[in-house]
Amino acid sequence: MSNKSNAVESSSKLKRMISNTVGYGTVLMTLVMLFFFLVWPVWIIVKSAFIDTTTGGFTLQYFGLMLDNELYTSAIVNSLWIGIATTILTTIISLPLAIINAKYEYRGKTILSGLLLVPMVMPPFVGAIGIQKFFAKYGSVNIWLMESGIIEAPIDWLGGSNMFWAVVILEVLHLYPIMYLNLTAAIANIDPTLEEMASIFGVKKWRQLKDITWPLARPGYFAGSIIVFIWALTDLGTPLLVGFHETMPVRIFNLVTDVNQNPVGFALVFVVIVMTVAIFLSSKYLFGKNKYEMMAKGHVTSSQPKSGFWGTAAIYALVLGTVVIALIPHLSVILTSFADKWFMTALPDSYTMEHYKMVFNEELSVIGIKNSLFFAGLSTIVDLILGLLVAYVVVRKLVPFHNVLDSLVMVPLALPGIVLAFGYVVAYTDTAIDPLTNPVFLLVMAYAIRRLPYMVRSASSGLEQISKSLEEASSTFGASQFYTLRKITVPLVFANLIAGSLLCFAYAMLDVSDSLILAMKDQFYPLTKAIYALFLEQGSGTYVASALGMIAMLILTSCILGASIILGKKMGELFRS
């Protein structure tokens, strides 16, 4: 009897030891990664913003120089207004679409809902290439308007202050799906009996929307608005290609190579850090101070009211109108990539596949494709391994401070890529991983650390649906924790892991800020940097860049479709978490 109890006790100790090894080992790996590739670069920027490079003492002179320079102050104001305008417009577009798709049933709902997400497959800076063909002074729109006799002289759509709105519109057309998904998930989760009771008591629909739907959907709206605002505020590629250089990200981009000669860049990046963190915290307070809870969550059922003929017609008009407008940048890129002769005409006179042939004959574009596949693939492997471990530790509560770990891995969402990339250049120049010499390691780590939250959320949502008793049963029959994880847990969350991996891979392929700043030599150019370099070339550069943008769009579409096929209707849960 004593031998049996000793064996049980020894087995229990072994399991606890393995559990602690997994738990605390994962915590240690996560902390090391976050320290060296998040905390340390940001700390270097913050410290450098307040240290005089000549005396080594405390100073505020860089902030004074920044505020005295109109180029920097106007860039700060413009970036703020881009973020605000983008958030407001995405809300105006997304809210009615989310209400319709969460509350009504109509023919073709699945297809139309899918079409609303199509703009996500192309970064707005790629759309900026094609848009210039449509809205240039003698582009398609002006040519058509003049040929139709509507205007006599061309309108400068992309000149002067119009460039600001060109950037905002491109951001809105790309980012509204994020707001739409968050709002749809939030509204769909509202207990339908609340509105049914309100209707029984004669509460009007607009009052139900104001007093029931909005307060309960507010957390989802907050999550979407923060992502949209920070993305638009710190986006580098779109204003750079549109030609609107009076924004903070573009100013920072121009200061990267000579930051030691012009330390104002430290002050400007510090302002970006303060803005994003302050906006996140203040918005959380403003939107989260009044919380409303439900006894149950809502769900989509057959009891959803079906729209009549005119209602369906109105829904189709709204959804298709939104999709058509949102796909204008995509259409412009497609036409540009196939255009053979396109000068002073509304549409190309002839079409060709030559630009796609040039993509695979052009050394720079081939390098861009290969590098992005390699960099994004490596970063996804890092996210997959670490993300699964973090999710397992958090969901199974293997350490007492699991909630702190969960919060820590979400921190990269609050810091834009422009900040991390700038920090990497400052912190790791003249080291073994100097980005000026070879940026591969830093590019992979930048991609990985910024997409790690997606993998953690994806894996966590799968693990939360698995009963812990399955793992306990495996352990009872003598299986080790690693064996149980490999044979029981991972297969059960495999779909979530694949979908999360595809999402991480797609967004790594989409990356602009890290790619443009860290890749300084041709042989290390990722896809987005290759597109930018080709766009700057005279002659056929714009056409080849558009063809390369189309190839990038096809790769990203394949990733999103793959995740959708694997998860089916659960695809949206990746964006709800």
pLDDT of 569 reads: 47
- What pLDDT, on a 0 to 100 scale, did the predictor assign at position 52? 84
CA dihedral 275, 280, 285, 290 (to 10 degrees): 140
The two most distant CA atoms of the chain are separated, in Å, by 101
Q: Are 175 and 231 in contact (CB under 8 A)?
A: yes
> Cα dist. 435→310, 379, 425, 517 in Å?
59, 17, 6, 9
CA dihedral 169, 171, 174, 177 (to 10 degrees): -100
**Domains plus CATH for the chain?**
1-50+355-577 (1.10.3720.10), 61-345 (1.10.3720.10)
In a 3-state reduction of DSSP, which class is residue 328?
Answer: helix
Report the C-alpha gap between 126 and 262 in whole angstroms: 30
pTM as predicted? 0.83
pLDDT of residue 260: 64
pLDDT value, residue 302: 43
Q: At what angle do helices 328-338 and 541-567 cross, to 10 degrees?
A: 130
Q: Cα(513)–Cα(517) distance, rounded to whole angstroms?
A: 6
Residue 223 has what pLDDT? 75
Q: Exposure pattern of 208-231 as b/e (b: 16+ CB <10 Å)?
A: beeebbeebbbbbbbbbbbbbbbb
pLDDT of residue 373: 92
Q: Amino acid letter at 518? A: L
When computed from its CA atoms, the radius of gyration of the chain, rounded to whole angstroms, is 26
> Which pLDDT value is given to residue 479?
64
Residues of the chain with pLDDT under 70: 1-20, 121-123, 191-192, 195-196, 259-261, 283-309, 470-482, 560-577
- Taking only the tens place, the pLDDT of each residue in 122-161 is 667 777 887 877 888 888 888 888 888 888 888 888 877 7
Residue 204 CB contacts under 8 Å (≥ 6 apart), including other chains:
none
